[in-house]
């Protein structure tokens, strides 16, 4: 390789881009040998040097002739391209032998963060973690990762969504969102101990105060709870934490699309968990339908209204009509004063 070819080889090797333009090659050649700026043989010398680089596999010419400067002889490429740069290969990862319970997860884990999770799980299992009692997720997360919310984030990653790694394997479990409830001592209820849930917390307060007044006058003992709105389908699973456990779960909420979907969904979740069904507080809903409060909202399609109103049982027709005509009834219409005036309706719920 002649001296000019060697200099051009250094120039293209130092290029930050794959394609080096002819004007840059010419400038590098002149910087190396200033006589090339005026000598008639400059074009031929540069082409000869570039041909040597092509032969050495250090550059490639354009394929199409339209990318050559053919105004004079010999033709010069308007640019040359460096051969593709090799990507640095990944360092081979040490072959890990995982405990049998982690083999499936080990086949999935490819990133360093995933390997790190499995290493922590492996230590937990090695230290007889599988024989430990199941605890709330955030307690185990803090123990394993020093971050009580790490498992909350990990459960949506492929290690968990694939089923290869589970909360049960780490001996922990999700904890349902608890709802506020208070026990009001009173007379035994022949229907069993009831848990009366209000969708909204203002109504919860009124129900609690009216229930206390009623119980002091001989009304039934019961729990009164606040279902935390749309959280109730999850919160209902915390009913077993109450002592004594309720025999009935009775719900009172808004008559609107969301207000009926919440208890219907909660009832399904409750039954799947072996808990009582969530039933409407019929006597309180009768009071609600009898009020004059109707607020405008978007009408609900007939088939949707029929489906969600089904939870209301014998009151389904009235509920469906409220939804389809584009109205809603807020449960606050049955407030403290009305409850105090109609204590038998409260006791019957």
3-state SS record for the chain: CCHHHHHHHHHHHCCCCCEEEHHHHHHHHHHHCHHHHCCCCHHHHHHHHHHHHHHCCCCECCCCHHHEECCCCCCEECEEECCCCCCCCCCCCCCCCCCHHHHHHHHHCCCHHHHHHHHHHHHHHHCCHHHCCCEEHHHHHHHHHCCCCHHHHHCCCHHHHCCCCCCCCCCEECCCCCCEEEEECCECCCCCCEEEEECCHHHHHHHHHHHHHHHHCCCECEEEEECCHHHHHHHHHHHHHCCCCCCEEEEECCECHHHHHHHHHHHHHHHHCCCCCEEECHHHHHHHHHCCCCEECCCCCHHHHHHHHHHHHHHHHHHHHHHHCCEEECHHHCCHHHHHHCHHHHHHC
In this structure, are residues 278 and 267 in contact, taking their beta carbons and an 8 Å threshold?
Answer: yes
What pLDDT score was predicted for residue 18?
Answer: 85
Quote the pLDDT of residue 212: 96
Q: Which residue, chain included where needed, has tokens 């982690």?
A: 102
Please tell me the distance from the alpha carbon of residue 334 to that of residue 342, in angstroms, as a whole number.
10
- Please state the rounded mean pLDDT for residues 157-172: 94
How sure is the predictor about 85, in pLDDT bands with cuts at 50, 70 and 90? low
Across 50-72, average pLDDT = 87
Q: For residues 62 and 59, what is the distance between their CA atoms, to the nearest angstrom?
A: 10
pLDDT of res. 94: 62
With bands split at pLDDT 50, 70 and 90, how would you rate the model's confidence at 294?
very high
Helix axis angle, 3-13 to 22-32, nearest 10°: 130
**Cα–chain-centroid distance for residue 257?**
25
Which pLDDT belongs to residue 4? 87
pLDDT over 90 at 265, yes or no: yes
Q: Provide mean pLDDT across the span 161-183.
A: 89
Residue 178 has pLDDT above 80, yes or no: no
d(Cα 164, Cα 177) in Å, to the nearest integer?
26
Instruction: Determine the pLDDT at residue 123.
Output: 95
**pLDDT at residue 27 is higher than 90:** no
CB 185 within 8 A of CB 245: no
Of the candidates 194, 192, 174, the one whose C-alpha atom is nearest the C-alpha of residue 237 is 174
Instruction: Show the tokens assigned to 4.
Output: 């000019």
Give the contacts of 247 (CB within 8 A, at least 6 positions apart): 191, 192, 193, 194, 276
List of domains in the chain: 3-81 (1.10.10), 100-173 (no CATH), 180-348 (3.40.50)
Query: Please, which pLDDT band fits residue 88 given cuts at 50, 70 and 90?
Result: low
Predicted local confidence at residue 86, as pLDDT? 60
- Give yes or no for residue 109 having a pLDDT over 80: yes
Mean pLDDT confidence for 60-83: 88
Could you tell me the pTM of the whole model? 0.60
244-254 residue pLDDT tens: 899 999 999 99
Query: In this model, does residue 127 exceed pLDDT 60?
Result: yes
Q: What is the pLDDT of residues 206-253, one digit of tens each?
A: 999 999 999 999 999 999 999 988 889 999 999 998 988 999 999 999
Residue 167's CB is within 10 A of a number of other CB atoms, namely 17
């Amino acid at each position: 390789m002649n001296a000019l070819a060697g200099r051009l080889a250094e120039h293209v090797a130092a290029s930050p881009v794959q394609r080096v333009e002819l004007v840059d090659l010419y400038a590098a050649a002149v910087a190396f040998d200033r006589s090339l700026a005026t000598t008639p043989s400059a074009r031929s010398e540069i082409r000869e040097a570039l041909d040597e680089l092509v032969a050495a596999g250090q550059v490639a010419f354009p394929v199409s002739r339209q990318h050559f400067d053919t105004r004079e002889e010999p033709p010069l490429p308007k640019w040359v391209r460096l051969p593709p740069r090799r990507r640095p290969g990944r360092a081979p990862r040490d072959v890990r032998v995982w405990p049998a319970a982690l083999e499936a997860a080990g086949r999935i884990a490819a990133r360093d963060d995933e390997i790190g999770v499995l290493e922590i799980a492996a230590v937990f299992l090695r230290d007889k973690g599988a024989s430990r009692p199941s605890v709330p997720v955030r307690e185990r997360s803090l123990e394993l990762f020093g971050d009580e919310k790490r498992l909350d984030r990990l459960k949506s990653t492929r290690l968990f969504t694939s089923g290869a790694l589970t909360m049960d394997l780490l001996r922990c479990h999700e904890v349902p969102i608890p709802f506020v409830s208070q026990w009001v001592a009173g007379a035994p209820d022949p229907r069993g101990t009831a848990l009366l849930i209000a969708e909204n917390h203002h109504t919860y307060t009124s129900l609690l105060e009216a229930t206390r007044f009623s119980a002091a006058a001989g009304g039934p003992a019961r729990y009164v709870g606040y279902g935390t709105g749309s959280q109730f389908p999850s919160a209902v699973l915390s009913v077993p934490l109450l002592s004594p456990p309720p025999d009935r779960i009775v719900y009172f909420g808004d008559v609107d699309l969301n207000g009926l979907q919440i208890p219907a969904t909660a009832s399904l979740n409750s039954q799947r968990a072996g808990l009582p069904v969530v039933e409407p507080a019929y006597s309180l809903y009768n009071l609600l339908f009898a009020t004059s409060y109707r607020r405008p909202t978007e009408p609900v399609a007939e088939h949707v209204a029929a489906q969600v109103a089904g939870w209301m049982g014998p009151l389904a027709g009235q509920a469906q009509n409220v939804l389809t005509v584009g109205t809603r009834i807020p449960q606050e219409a049955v407030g403290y004063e009305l409850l105090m005036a109609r204590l038998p309706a409260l006791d019957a719920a």
